[in-house]
């Protein structure tokens, strides 16, 4: 089994979109598809898993549309795809990864040190309603201050 990046709109990318549609019920949106990098898990030439990565400003990366073929689950394919995406993000010096998880998949991400945040919400499409929850992971701790201190120590007002 090999994790790789699919050539945009090539044969494997199309197979990944089909798998995602079957597993998650999401509608393929070509416009959105152009904004993401599609990671795939290949087993003997067959696409058995897919996960998309979207790069946001401020070094925030978002994982989207994670799906593993039902007959291939429990073989660490999902975990390896997430790790491959995180390595890719580290190489690009991205520090934060965010995602929205289906409620039932939250433990899968928690095992990889993602924490739940904000709120649960429903993604309502024409024929489905899915409960999602925001999750986050810090890839590298920030070791440098975000900005210079505004005032020198002696300039702070004194308090009684
Ligand atoms: C969630 C999903 C991507 C996991 O992929 P997978 O390849 O089966 O998972 P892995 O084998 O890599 O699992 C890694 C670990 O997470 C655990 N895990 C996986 N899915 C889990 C779940 N739904 N609930 C609890 N634990 C889960 C595994 O037991 C394993 O734990 P271990 O390290 O203690 O052995 C896959 O089940 C799937 O496609 N589900 C349907 C679509 C979906 O929910 N996608 C997520 C959308 S946000």
Please write the tens of the pLDDT for every residue from 92-141.
999 899 999 998 999 999 999 999 986 666 666 655 677 889 999 999 65
Burial zone of 25 (CB within 10 Å; 0-12 exposed, 13-18 middle, 19+ buried): exposed
Query: Ligand 1: which residue has its CA nearest to atom 17?
Result: 108
80 CA → ligand 1 middle, Å? 11
Q: Which atom of ligand 1 is nearest to the CA of 132?
A: 48
Annotate 107-137 with DSSP letters as a single string: HHHHTTT-EEEEEEEEEEETTEEEEEEEEEE
Return d(Cα 87, Cα 92) in angstroms, integer.
Answer: 9
The answer on pLDDT for 156 being more than 80 is no
Is the CB of 66 inside a 6 Å radius of any atom of ligand 1?
Answer: yes
> No. of H helices and E strands in the chain?
4, 7
Give the predicted TM-score (pTM) of the model.
0.87
Please write the tens of the pLDDT for every residue from 12-71.
999 999 999 999 998 888 999 999 999 999 999 999 999 999 999 889 999 999 999 999
**DSSP-H helix ranges across 2-160:** 11-24, 30-33, 77-91, 106-110
Q: Which CATH architecture has domain 2-142?
A: 3-Layer(aba) Sandwich (3.40)
Q: What is the pLDDT of residue 130?
A: 76
CB atoms closer than 10 angstroms to residue 61? 23
Tokens of 20: 């995602």
CB atoms closer than 10 angstroms to residue 109? 23
């Amino acid at each position: 089994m090999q994790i790789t990046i699919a050539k945009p709109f090539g044969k494997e990318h199309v197979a990944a979109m089909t798998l995602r549609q079957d597993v998650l019920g999401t509608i393929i949106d070509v416009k959105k598809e152009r904004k993401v990098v599609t990671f795939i898990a290949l087993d003997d030439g067959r696409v058995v898993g897919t996960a998309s990565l979207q790069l946001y400003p401020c070094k925030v990366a978002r994982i989207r549309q994670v799906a593993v073929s039902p007959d291939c689950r429990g073989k660490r394919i999902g975990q390896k795809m997430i790790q491959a995406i995180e390595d890719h993000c580290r190489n690009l010096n991205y520090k934060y990864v965010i995602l929205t998880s289906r409620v039932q998949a939250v433990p899968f991400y928690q095992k990889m040190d993602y924490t739940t945040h904000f709120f649960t919400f429903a993604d309502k499409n024409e024929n489905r309603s899915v409960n999602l929850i925001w999750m986050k992971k810090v890839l590298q701790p920030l070791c440098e201050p975000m900005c210079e201190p505004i005032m020198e120590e002696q300039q702070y007002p004194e308090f009684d």
